Structure 1
Amino acid sequence: MTRPLSRRALLGATVGGLALASGLSGPAAAAGRPRSAIGPEPYVPLAVGAGGGPAGTDRVHVLKVGPDSAHTVLVLVPGFFGAANDFRQLARDLVASVPGVQVWAVDRREENLADRSGFATADPAAYYLDGHYRSQDPAASAFAARWGLSRTLEDLDTVVRTASRGGRRRVVLGGHSWGATTAMTYAAWDFDGRPGHRELTALVLVDGGVRGAFGGTGDPIHNTPEEVRERLAAIDGGAVFDLTLSGVGLGDRAESTQIWYQLAGWYAHTDPAGRSVLQPRMPDALRPPVPVTNAGLLGALVDAGFGWPNVISVHSGRLAESGDVRGWVDTGITPLSRVATGYAGGPTPAVWEWYWPARLSVDLDVADPYADSDLARSLGLRLFHTQALDTPLYAFQTSYAKGTIVSATREVVADSRVPYAVYETDDGMNHLDPLFAAPAHNTLIHTLAPFLAGLR
């Protein structure tokens, strides 16, 4: 879903904000069209090349939203620790706005490692917080050391070519945050002499990209040869999964924080006004100081007003000012019920990826200069066609990177054959707002829809 949080140093003033929140009570109803108006939303597997993982992992999944008869398919790649359900509500809103478009949201092969069966039970908190679920042991996961950008892009190529139906449909490739970076690397990648951009009608970058796109966050890219050697040595030593999210303070396993967030979404979605099931079990430092509802707890975990970094927060609302158990009121652009619906997910698909390969983090950092460098080649990164890129491009930025998403994208366009580009900004949004904001307040939808409609 997101790029590294403060570049591997997460929270800062997060906890202090919990004591300051106030507001009205009662979660608002979700905006947007109901599922019945959009049609079936199948979540389908696609077989991909062998990756050396456990049985059942040589496949990716795609969440399809919109008519299968569509002549344009927008393939969306989630960002750092993101998964397909990031895009479900955005996809519904785009399909409702642009006739003839279907959206495919991609789940990478590592999603097959997650045990989400507890979300099909009546008490998922007991299943996950009491240790009944199957955790993926890093010591038994040496295969993940090879799940880097090359593996990801080969898998993504299968998705793109399947979506095109032999060239009979236009394919637009996009992504959010590091998913946008992934889309750009696909476009420049050499697939045995075939440039990735040859398969594409256009590119869509949502708050991410290359060429220093994340420079405005203040978080350095760790891609010097010395840093890369150290990171690869750690992976060879068994640190095969990226542990960035453990910095939140909700557990030290690769999947701990993601489980907590999905649990918070599940209870906020199924019983928003009920007293929080999770609050008594939270670490002291992160527990809200007053009793809250299930919706209130989710709000405390995702709303920017509580001090969470821009990269993992939205503008939703605040807790009630009074009451024995504080509820939630929506005062921002992103109704909490939309976040709850997304985060709740189900057994599949989900919003959070549990086991992000550390090698993929290394490769994406090295790909940031968007150049066929010696370092890139040493890692097997085939960025041979950056200057030949010749597809229309749309770039959208929030307040997250303070303008460098667009400025970096302009550099890419200037050094390529891109025929035209559209640049949009909404500084009133945080990094996750474009994924969940109400359609009436989502600048991404208002500007991306005409871009898609105008493609020929």
Structure 2
Amino acid sequence: MTSHLPRRRTVLSGLVGGLALTAGAAGAGPGAGAAWASGREHGGRGVSAEPYVPIPVGRGGGPAETDRVHVLKVGPERAETVVVLVPGMFGAANDFRLVAGDLVRAVPGIQVWAFDRREENLADRTGFATPDPAAYYLDGHYRSQDPAASGYAADWGLRLTLEDLRTVVLAAGAGGRRRVVLGGHSWGATTVLAYAAWDFDGHPGYRDLAGLALIDGGVLGAFEGTGAPVQDSPEEVRERLAAIEGGAVFDMTLSAVGLGSRAESTQIWYQLAGWYARVDPEGRSVLQPRLPDALRLPYPITNAALLGTLVDAGFGWPNDISVHSGRVADSGAGDDVRGWIDEGITPIGRVAAAYAGPEPAVWEWYWPSRLSVDLDVTDAYADTDLARSLGLRLRHATRIDVPLYAFQTSYSHGTVLTGAQRVVTGSRIPYTTYETDEGMNHLDPLFAATAQNTMTRTFAGFLARG
């Protein structure tokens, strides 16, 4: 199996495999959006309810049904502190499903809201409620978003994301009656720092917050150690904006590594793999026969083992798109179907549980190209001419005065914390918690077993400090 390392922005909070998908444009309406509440398990320990709640936001120029975001709520409604978490590139609310449950159990008096951007309204997730999700998606029955009919997404950059996020933060704060800690993973951490420094019509973003949390991401060179620097020179920005103006409104870099010709192709394959691994982990893989020959193992495997081959570091994927999970069994049971053996810090069942729901959304299907540009430019974390030309209002970075938590894995070789330290040095942040676990890959903090997740344990300590 040949691995391919795309640019950093391709894989922040995304998983890449060499899967091809030919998707149709026909099908049913959007799958995201219904409020949902039910008792679900988090790797064997229950959280009583996980409502997936729509929140109206301002007009974004697209269809009326896109003028809303969603939050996955975990924990007591009467909590005194709400932790709002922002996923990274190609990530969605379920990235934090397990993290949320672990934090709520560890810290009394908190609730977690995992944020889904307005782009999630474009995804057709109805196929996961059909008897045969693989056929629905892989045979082209779903509704695919046509970039040519989505010109409005050319303006879906950081400004709109932060305006939407502020609606969520203010709702979480309940008019000042509750504290709000804002955190994010990877480019979600970049988004969090942008919020803190942002000028909302004269109101600094950090004043809405009681704390900040950066999980393996940030600004000021946080991603330098990955070997793929940000693309933020004026020349690069001009070229990228011209491409958006020409119709490239959705970031297509996942398809560029051979994962299918549509913006959503890879996301659908991985979401399917997680779904089948959750509903029938020991069953013979439904997806394996449909894989390209180059990626199909020479023996049958279970649904759980197929998900494992896509997400585990042992199968050749780059550090930033993998977890430490385990391996395929050396031999199988009936018909020699080989299962998955957990040997690492991230059991494959927890990855599948995160994928499963309540809304099957651990991937963002349609990431706006303009948001990629704006987040790259945000790395400088200053009110520069280039930032102003893009409408980025990064005016208050030096005045931030709330506590900060920063966690890094092996992903950046140390530059995530270096970037966080630069933020602290240039601000009024009163105290900071810096944590590192070099035994983790970029996605392990999202899915690792509770007892082995250094991030959730240390983040809980930060939250408990108040």
Deviation per residue, 1:14-59 (Å, 9 max, x gap): 77xxxxxxxxxxxxxx875533xx2211111111010011131000
Conserved 8 A contact 1:333-1:438: yes
| 1:344 and 2:353 correspond | no
Q: Which residue of 2 aligns with 1:444?
A: 455
Note closer, same or farther for the CA distance 1:115–1:57 as it changes in structure 2 (3 Å cut): same
Task: State the Cα distance separating 1:247 from its structure 2 match.
Answer: 3.7
The whole-number CA distance in structure 2 between the counterparts of 1:340 and 1:5 is 25
Match of 1:151 among 136, 160, 169: 160
Alignment CA distance shift 1:9-1:195 (3 Å): closer
Amino acid at match of 2:60: G
Match of 2:71 in 1: 62
> Does 2:106 match 1:97?
yes
1:373 to 384, 388, 391: 384
Indicate the SS of the match to 1:298: helix
1:23 match: none
Aligned residues: 434
Q: Distance in 1 between matches of 2:249 and 2:297?
A: 33
Query: What pairs up with 1:55-454 in 2 under 5 angstroms?
Result: 55-323=64-332, 324-345=336-357, 348-454=359-465
Partner Cα distance (1:114, 1:409) in 2: 34
Verify the 8 A CA contact 1:288 1:297 in the aligned structure 2.
no
Aligned-pair distance for 1:325?
Answer: 1.4
State the Cα distance separating 1:246 from its structure 2 match. 1.5
Give yes or no for contact 1:250–1:282 (8 Å, CA) kept in 2.
no
* Alpha-carbon distance, 1:343 to partner: 1.9
Q: Is the 8 A contact 2:52 2:70 kept in 1?
A: yes
Cα–Cα, structure 1 residues 118 and 32, in superposed 2: closer, same or farther, change >3 Å? Answer: closer
Does the CA contact (< 8 Å) of 1:33 and 1:93 recur in 2? no
Partner SS, residue 406 of structure 1: helix
Using the size of structure 1 for normalisation, the TM-score is: 0.93
- Which ranges of structure 1 fall in alignment gaps of 5 or more residues? 16-29
CA distance in 2, matches of 1:5, 1:248: 7
* C-alpha distance in structure 1 between counterparts of 2:342 and 2:43, whole Å: 15
Once the two structures are superposed, residues 409-446 of structure 1 have per-residue CA deviations (whole angstroms, 9 ceiling, x without a partner) of 00110010000100000000001100000000000111
Cα displacement (A) at 1:150: 0.2
Shift of 1:239: 0.4
Bigger shift: 270-279 or 124-133? 270-279
Letter in 2 for 1:364: L
Amino acid at match of 2:352: A
User: 1:19 maps to which residue?
Assistant: none
- 2:351 partner letter: V
C-alpha separation between the residues in 2 aligned to 1:243 and 1:345?
25
Q: 1:48 to 1:254 in 2, by over 3 A?
A: same
Whether the 8 Å contact between 2:285 and 2:301 is mirrored in structure 1 is yes
8 Å CA contact 2:274–2:355 kept in 1: the answer is yes
- The question of whether the paired residues in 1 share the 8 Å contact of 2:234 and 2:386 is answered with yes
Write the distance in 2 (CA, Å) between the matches of 1:210 and 1:107.
21
CA RMSD across the alignment: 1.6
Instruction: Assess if the C-alpha contact under 8 Å between 1:33 and 1:92 holds in 2.
Output: no
